[in-house]
Amino acid sequence: MKKHNGLLAAVTIIFLIGLFSCGGGGGITGNTPGGKVKKGVKMLFDKKYEEVVKLYVKKDGQKLTEEESAKLAGMMPMALKEKESKQGLKDVEILEEKISADGKEATVRYKMIFNNGETDDEDTRLIKVDGDWFFVIGN
């Protein structure tokens, strides 16, 4: 169990870094991988942690357990604090959105632009489950 908790923590931090860095085409509707990223970033900066957690699934497409969801939501304020030290998010720019040939997986490369002028470029992976895009937790 201890090993599982450590892995979940590491994956969560990596995901949150990726989430903060994302944004994308398709507006904030979430109908595209980039749109889902923008939606997640906005909700994270609005401190809607429990809503952000709903945007995640395991690599096999299964929903997170209540325990996993609670742990993920509990780590979000820590990740947000690091990003807010850059005086908040000014904009998110989608640099590249790659969707697999079968339309079930996507990788989004994005740039977060902060109010202090700093930028972070990140990649994040999403999968399509029941017609909607979700962030993947785990490898």
Q: In the predicted model, is pLDDT for residue 4 greater than 80?
A: no
**Domain encompassing residue 80:** 2-137
Mean pLDDT of 18-34: 54
Q: What is the pTM of this model?
A: 0.75
pLDDT at 139: 57
pLDDT tens-digit readout, 57-113:
999 999 999 999 999 999 999 888 878 788 888 888 899 999 999 999 999 998 888
The mean pLDDT value of the chain amounts to 81
Domain count, the chain: 1
Burial label for 72, CB within 10 Å (0-12, 13-18, 19+), is: buried
For residue 27, give both structure tokens.
């507006």
pLDDT at 30: 53
- CATH code of the domain covering residue 72: 3.10.450.50
Interhelix angle 2-21/66-84, rounded to 10 degrees, is: 50
- Low-confidence winner among 7-11, 21-25, 69-73, 118-122 (lowest mean pLDDT): 21-25
Mean pLDDT of 111-128: 91
Helix (H) and strand (E) counts for the chain? Answer: 4, 5
Mean pLDDT of 118-126: 92
